[in-house]
């Protein structure tokens, strides 16, 4: 049976995911067969496993840090907020149902059973299981229905470390309060870690010593604030989306990604952010759009609502004008559907709870698209989730890999990519191109180095600049970030104490 270590936190975004990622890499480097686990994750950043299952991207990155293939058991329950429809629930990689908040209480037993199945599998297959909690375990109004924090620790009798975020303030109070509100599980809590520290450790040390005395738990590390992790955020509350990171205003090519209300899988665009000649902006401002070389409409968890938002803001009209002016417009997944002629929803997959489509008490089953591509999309209850590989039809030497996650099927002259769906072996064409406007269902396209540079170089040449054939390998860059964060974490926590707590 696997040795165990669980990382819980005083809040969301306190560093649980990053710490689990780093510990997985450190354990791998020590030669330990390690796997990550998170019982339930709420995120619009998802990943498709080799067998076609959908899990949270964070657990896929953690598996990569551990040097193993991502599995559905590493995240048995994925929650994907879908606006007025409720929350889409993915269980063991497949769509289970869409639930309203109150419905989760009735589903607890079935979801908990799924968690236990995955835990039982992973603890038999690996030497060490590093488990991530969700949000705060001390939400005492929710503990009765918990299936992701102390319920998991108690089921496995796993030792727990509590992580606190000092950057948001009140770290001593938050750690103290968390431990005291979990007195029933005090025997499982073995220590705490302070994350995102800026300043001199000598100033912090008296507070750490006092807190250790008060809660009778040791501090096993103080991790500094890491400005660039290279790891995509789990949700839309992100520095990437707020544009508060440093912009490269002198970059040769400006790319604007539409900041949709229900944007999903915006990790698609991370590789573009690191290109030296690209300025990447998330925006709905007209000023940004009219100055862009490339505009990307990303995926959406609620295509109908985001399309209606674009129409309300008159962005559809701006896009039509910019298309006439030869601005390159790219659509991925939900964005691909929006730029077509019509979106049809006979099974009420997208529009069943969409009040903006209501007329005289009757829910519309279709909505007009922006009309920049000759394509119609029909939504079906079943979701397509698969990894793909193939090539760009106009440039067969440009090979691509990626993945599909969508319910709608689009009908039109598909000839942009020729692909193979790995989960089924099916060979087909994907995507449509009409001069400077093109769309595809394939996520992860810009992780392909040759395609990414092909796209950017076309705009360099258009501006009279020489193309740059190669800048970096995205795969190697990701590995360097994983190594970097693991080095920082290993340097600033007591790894001997970590291994002792885990029983290694």
Pairing relationship of beta strands 342-344 and 376-392 according to DSSP bridges: parallel
Catalytic residue among 24, 219, 333, 357: 333
pLDDT of 356 higher than 80: no
Q: How many CB atoms lie within 10 A of CB 409?
A: 14
Report the candidate in 231, 233, 283, 228 with the shortest Cα–Cα distance to residue 45: 233
Q: Is 459 a catalytic residue?
A: no
Report the candidate in 365, 295, 377 with the shortest Cα–Cα distance to residue 336: 377
In this predicted structure, what is the pLDDT of residue 354? 45
Distance CA 318, CA 414 (A): 25
In this predicted structure, what is the pLDDT of residue 86? 84
Distance CA 363, CA 366 (A): 9
pTM above 0.85, yes or no: yes
Asked if residue 503 lies in contact with residue 3, where contact means CB atoms within 8 angstroms, the answer is yes
The predicted-structure confidence for 140-166, as pLDDT tens digits, reads as follows 998 889 999 999 999 999 999 999 999
The predicted-structure confidence for 410-451, as pLDDT tens digits, reads as follows 999 999 999 999 999 999 999 999 999 999 999 999 999 999
The predicted-structure confidence for 455-487, as pLDDT tens digits, reads as follows 999 999 999 999 999 999 999 999 999 999 999
In this predicted structure, what is the pLDDT of residue 361? 40
Q: What is the DSSP letter of 406?
A: E
In the numeric block, the tokens 């002259």 are attached to 413
In 198-274, DSSP assigns E strands to 219-224, 253-258, 263-264
What is the pLDDT averaged over residues 323-336? 94
Catalytic residue among 73, 92, 406, 443: 443
Pairing relationship of beta strands 3-9 and 160-165 according to DSSP bridges: parallel
Q: Is 49 left (phi over 0), alpha (psi -120 to 50) or beta?
A: beta
Q: Is 443 a catalytic residue?
A: yes
The predicted-structure confidence for 234-269, as pLDDT tens digits, reads as follows 654 455 555 544 567 689 999 999 999 989 898 999
Asked if residue 379 lies in contact with residue 350, where contact means CB atoms within 8 angstroms, the answer is yes
286: tokens are 């007209």
Q: What is the DSSP letter of 66?
A: H
Residues in Cβ contact with 121 at an 8 Å cutoff, skipping those fewer than 6 apart? 73
């Amino acid at each position: 049976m696997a040795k165990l270590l669980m990382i819980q936190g005083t809040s969301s975004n306190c560093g649980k995911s990053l710490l689990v990622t780093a510990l997985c890499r450190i354990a791998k480097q020590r030669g330990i067969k390690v796997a990550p686990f998170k019982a339930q994750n709420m995120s619009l950043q998802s990943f498709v496993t080799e067998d076609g299952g959908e899990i949270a991207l964070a657990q896929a990155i953690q598996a990569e840090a551990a040097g193993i293939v991502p599995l559905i058991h590493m995240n048995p329950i994925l929650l994907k907020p879908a606006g007025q429809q409720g929350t889409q629930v993915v269980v063991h990689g497949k769509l289970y149902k869409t639930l309203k908040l109150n419905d989760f209480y009735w589903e607890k037993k079935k979801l908990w059973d799924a968690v236990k199945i995955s835990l039982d599998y992973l603890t038999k297959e690996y030497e060490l299981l590093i488990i991530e909690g969700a949000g705060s375990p001390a939400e005492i109004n929710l503990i009765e229905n918990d299936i992701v924090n102390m319920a998991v620790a108690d089921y496995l009798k796993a030792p727990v470390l509590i992580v606190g975020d000092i950057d948001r303030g009140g770290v001593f109070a938050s750690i103290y309060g968390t431990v005291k509100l979990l007195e029933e599980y005090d025997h499982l809590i073995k220590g705490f870690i302070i994350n995102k520290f800026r300043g001199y450790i000598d100033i912090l040390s008296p507070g750490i010593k006092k807190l250790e005395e008060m809660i009778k738990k040791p501090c096993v590390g103080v991790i500094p604030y890491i400005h660039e992790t290279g790891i995509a955020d789990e949700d839309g509350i992100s520095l990437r989306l707020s544009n508060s990171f440093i912009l490269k205003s002198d970059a040769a090519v400006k790319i604007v990604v539409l900041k949709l209300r229900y944007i999903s899988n915006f990790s698609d665009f991370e590789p573009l952010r690191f290109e030296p000649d690209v300025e990447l902006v998330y925006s709905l401002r007209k000023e940004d759009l009219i100055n862009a070389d490339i505009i990307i409409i990303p995926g959406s968890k609620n295509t109908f609502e985001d399309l209606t938002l674009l129409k309300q803001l008159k962005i559809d009209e701006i896009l039509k004008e910019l298309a006439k002016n030869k601005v390159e417009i790219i659509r991925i997944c939900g964005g691909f559907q929006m730029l077509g002629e019509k979106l049809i929803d006979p099974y009420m997959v997208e529009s069943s709870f969409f009040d903006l489509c209501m007329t005289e008490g009757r829910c519309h089953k279709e909505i007009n698209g922006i009309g920049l591509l000759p394509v119609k999309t029909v939504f079906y209850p079943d979701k397509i989730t698969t990894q793909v590989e193939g090539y760009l039809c106009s440039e067969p030497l440009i090979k691509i890999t990626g993945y599909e996650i969508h319910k709608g099927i689009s009908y039109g002259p598909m000839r942009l990519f020729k692909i193979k769906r790995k989960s089924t072996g099916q060979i087909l064409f994907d995507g449509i191109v009409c001069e400077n406007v093109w769309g595809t269902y394939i996520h992860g396209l810009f992780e392909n180095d040759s395609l990414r540079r092909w796209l950017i170089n076309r705009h360099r040449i258009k501006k009279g600049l020489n193309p740059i054939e190669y800048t970096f390998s995205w795969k190697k860059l990701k590995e360097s970030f994983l190594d970097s964060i693991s080095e920082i974490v290993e340097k600033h926590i007591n790894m001997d104490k970590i291994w002792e707590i885990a029983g290694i």
